[in-house]
């Protein structure tokens, strides 16, 4: 029988030693490891941890490291050290860092995370910095609306550094080939779409697959375009208002007419970009960085002027990406000094063209290097003024926005609509129910 005999005394002493030895090793060695780990990470205690995301290609990473390295703090203030944080599972990285007090003093990040963190008291408000800038006039350099997009009832949760809007793009050669004209209203989009379809091109290029949020953002953008949006002016979820229903009805018409690619439901970011690159998509919504993303500088791929909705409204969805400061910092004054330096110095990214996002400082927009990019200039000129966050219809921003962005109900909604097997009311009702369960404030 396979059972242990009763006699174990001699062996057990040996084994207890062995077991304790191993256990002890695991307790002692961490001590060694800690010193090793520390020497690998921050060089000096009290230096500012600055977390930045990979906002563009490798050249951006190098440029940002250089910019941070070049920061010479005033005496008594801490120097800054940059840490690159990957987008993958970034919310877990930030959350676990904040919970264990090992987080950064300053960081960039997702468009709305500052609002959520502020609610929990992790954010140091930027009011001081903003009022300093107001005094010396620097605040005037910010494009209208960008700073206010970060204002909550408790203060400014961060300072803007670049913005990301949703714009309409078109590929000229495909329009010429189909004999269609670039639309300026939604109705014209339908007409052009039908002409493009005859040649096998898609007039409503989109993508809503794994990891691809453009699809969801495009539907929200269109709702906002039409004067609707996810929330009402009081910040309550209002999916079923008539402008939203009208919007989704329109999108469903596009889908049924075959103007939207049926496989778009599953397109990852790469599939999506691939369709633009392969000249299958003739018209559609994307970020201002589309031409950079597919390395297309031929001049064939251009940003179209904003479309007017059925009631003549023009609006788009925007993310004002911001630099935020945290309460867990060696020196608040040091944080502010660093952010001040960083915002004033970030123009080098656009000077050396390492970043594709839109600047928020007018002075950067006016730079000759930026003016060279016709598409981005057009985006700044025509889209930024009409850009709204998810809180489109309200004048204030609130944390609920962060909860809906990238959420599961929104993704499901997008896939349902792009799949075409539904009607506007039911899809929006499902979305309303799904989002109500999530939005807590």
Partner 1 sequence: MTATHETGDLSHVVEVRGGKGRRSDKRGQWWRFLLILPIAAVALVPVGVVFLLAFTPSAASNTTGLTMENFSNVFANTDVLLWLQNSLLVTVGTVLVCVAVAAPAGYVLSRGRSRAVATYSLMLFVFQSLPVITAVIPLFLIFANIGLVDSLLGLTIVYVGSSMAVAIWMMAAYMDSIPISLEEAAWIDGASLFRGFWQVVLRNSLPGILSTAIFTFLVAWNDYLVAIVFLRSDVAFTLPLGLQSFFQQNTTDWGAVMAVAVIAMIPPVALFVFLNKYFSVGGIGGSLAGQ
Partner 2 sequence: MLVMPSIVLLLLIHLFPLFKAFLDSLHTGSLIDSGEFVGFQNYIDNLTSPTFWKAARFTLVFTLVGVFGSWAVGLALALLLRTRIPGGGLIKVLLLLPWVVPIVVSSTAINWLVATSSSPIPVLFEKVGLGQPLFLADPTWAAIVVCVFKVWVSFPFMMMMSSAALSGVDQGVYEAARMDGATSMQQLRWVTLPMIARSTYISWILMTIFCVNDFPTIFLLTGGGPIDATNSLVVLAYRTVFQNQQVGPGVSIAFMMTVVLVVLSTVLYRQIRRAAH
- Among 29, 33, 37, 210, the residue binding partner 2 under the rule CB under 8 A is 210
Residues 50-89 that bind partner 1 (CB under 8 A): 53-58, 83-89
Torsional sign, CA 402, 407, 413, 418? positive
Kindly write out the interface string for residues 64-103 of this chain, putting x where it contacts partner 2 by CB under 8 A and - elsewhere: -------------------------x-xx-xx--xx----
Check binding of 419 to partner 2 (CB under 8 A).
yes
Strands (E), 94-147: 106-107, 123-124
Check binding of 119 to partner 2 (CB under 8 A).
yes
What CA dihedral angle connects 415, 420, 422 and 424, to 10 degrees? Answer: 80
Give, as one character, the DSSP assignment of residue 262.
G
List of residues 6+ apart from 170 with CB closer than 8 A: 182, 282, 283, 301, 302, 304
Helix (H, G, I), strand (E, B) or coil at 272: helix
CB of 34 to partner 1, least distance (A): 4
Check binding of 10 to partner 1 (CB under 8 A).
yes
Query: Closer to partner 2 at the Cβ: 130 or 248?
Result: 248
List of residues 6+ apart from 89 with CB closer than 8 A: none
- Among 100, 278, 395, 440, the residue binding partner 1 under the rule CB under 8 A is 100
Return d(Cα 185, Cα 314) in angstroms, integer: 9
Residues touching partner 2: how many (CB under 8 A)? 54
- Among 28, 33, 66, 210, the residue binding partner 1 under the rule CB under 8 A is 33
Torsional sign, CA 212, 214, 217, 222? negative
List of residues 6+ apart from 353 with CB closer than 8 A: 369
Residues 274-293 that bind partner 2 (CB under 8 A): 274-275, 278, 280
Query: Closer to partner 2 at the Cβ: 45 or 92?
Result: 92
Check binding of 117 to partner 2 (CB under 8 A).
yes
List of residues 6+ apart from 251 with CB closer than 8 A: 204, 219, 222, 260, 417, 418
- Among 409, 424, 428, 431, the residue binding partner 2 under the rule CB under 8 A is 409
Residues 234-263 that bind partner 2 (CB under 8 A): 262-263
- Residue 416: alpha-carbon gap to chain centroid: 23
End-to-end CA gap in the chain: 63
Return d(Cα 431, Cα 356) in angstroms, integer: 32
Q: What are phi and psi of 370, to 5 degrees?
A: -75, -35
Check binding of 437 to partner 1 (CB under 8 A).
no
Query: Closer to partner 2 at the Cβ: 93 or 351?
Result: 93
List of residues 6+ apart from 199 with CB closer than 8 A: 174, 177, 178
Q: Which stretch binds partner 1 (CB under 8 A): 32-40, 67-75, 327-335, 430-438?
A: 32-40
Check binding of 269 to partner 1 (CB under 8 A).
yes
Query: Closer to partner 1 at the Cβ: 2 or 440?
Result: 2
How many of the other CB atoms lie within 10 Å of CB of 33? 10
* CB-based contact 346:161 (threshold 8 Å): yes
Would strands 283-286 and 167-171 be described as parallel, antiparallel, or unpaired? antiparallel
Check binding of 16 to partner 1 (CB under 8 A).
no
Residues touching partner 1: how many (CB under 8 A)? 53
Return d(Cα 342, Cα 126) in angstroms, integer: 14
Q: Which stretch binds partner 2 (CB under 8 A): 21-29, 45-53, 166-174, 180-188?
A: 21-29
Question: What is the contact surface with partner 2 in residues (CB under 8 A)?
Answer: 8, 11-12, 15-16, 18-20, 22-23, 26, 89, 91-92, 94-95, 98-99, 116-117, 119-120, 122, 208-211, 262-268, 270-271, 274-275, 278, 280, 402-403, 406-409, 411-412, 415-416, 419, 437-438, 440
Q: Where do contacts with partner 1 occur on this chain (CB under 8 A)?
A: 1-5, 7-8, 10-11, 14-15, 22, 26, 29-30, 33-34, 36-38, 40-41, 53-58, 83-89, 92-93, 95-96, 99-102, 269-270, 273, 277, 287, 289, 293-295, 356
């Amino acid at each position: 029988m396979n059972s242990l005999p009763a006699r174990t005394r001699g062996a057990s002493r040996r084994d207890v030693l062995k077991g304790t030895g191993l256990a002890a090793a695991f307790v002692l060695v961490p001590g060694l490891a800690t010193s090793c780990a520390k020497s690998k990470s921050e060089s000096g205690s009290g230096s500012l941890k600055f977390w930045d995301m990979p906002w563009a290609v490798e050249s951006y990473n190098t440029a940002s490291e250089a910019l941070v390295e070049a920061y010479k703090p005033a005496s008594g203030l801490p120097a800054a050290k940059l840490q690159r944080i990957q987008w993958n599972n970034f919310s877990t990285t930030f959350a676990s860092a904040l919970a264990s007090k090992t987080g950064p003093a300053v960081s960039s990040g997702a468009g709305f995370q500052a609002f959520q963190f502020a609610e929990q008291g992790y954010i140091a408000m930027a009011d001081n910095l903003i009022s300093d800038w107001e005094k010396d006039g620097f605040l005037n350099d910010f494009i209208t609306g960008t700073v206010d997009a970060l204002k909550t009832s408790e203060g400014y949760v961060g300072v803007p550094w670049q913005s990301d809007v949703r714009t309409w793009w078109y590929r000229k050669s495909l329009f010429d080939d189909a004999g269609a004209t670039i639309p300026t209203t939604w109705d014209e989009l339908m007409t052009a779409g039908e002409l493009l379809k005859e040649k096998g091109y898609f007039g409503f290029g989109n993508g809503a697959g794994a990891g691809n949020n453009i699809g969801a953002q495009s539907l929200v953008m269109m709702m906002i375009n039409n004067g609707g949006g996810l929330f009402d002016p009081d910040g309550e979820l209002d999916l079923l208002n008539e402008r939203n229903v009208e919007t989704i009805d329109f999108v469903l018409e596009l889908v049924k007419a075959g103007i939207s690619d049926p496989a778009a439901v599953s397109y990852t970011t790469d599939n999506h970009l691939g369709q633009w690159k392969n000249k299958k998509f003739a018209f559609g919504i994307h970020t201002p960085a589309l031409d950079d993303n597919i390395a297309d500088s031929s001049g064939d791929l251009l940003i179209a002027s904003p479309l007017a909705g059925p009631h003549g409204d023009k609006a788009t969805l925007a993310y004002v990406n911001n630099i935020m400061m945290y309460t867990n910092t060696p020196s608040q004054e040091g944080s502010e000094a660093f952010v001040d330096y960083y915002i004033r110095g970030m123009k080098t990214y656009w000077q050396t063209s390492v970043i594709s996002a839109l600047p928020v400082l007018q002075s950067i927009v006016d730079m000759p290097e930026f003016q060279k990019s016709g598409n981005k200039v057009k985006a700044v000129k025509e889209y930024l003024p009409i850009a709204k966050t998810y809180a489109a219809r309200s004048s204030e921003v609130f944390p609920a926005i962060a909860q809906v962005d990238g959420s599961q109900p929104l993704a499901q909604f997008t896939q349902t609509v792009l799949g075409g097997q539904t009607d506007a009311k039911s899809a929006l009702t499902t979305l309303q129910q799904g989002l109500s369960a999530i939005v807590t404030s």
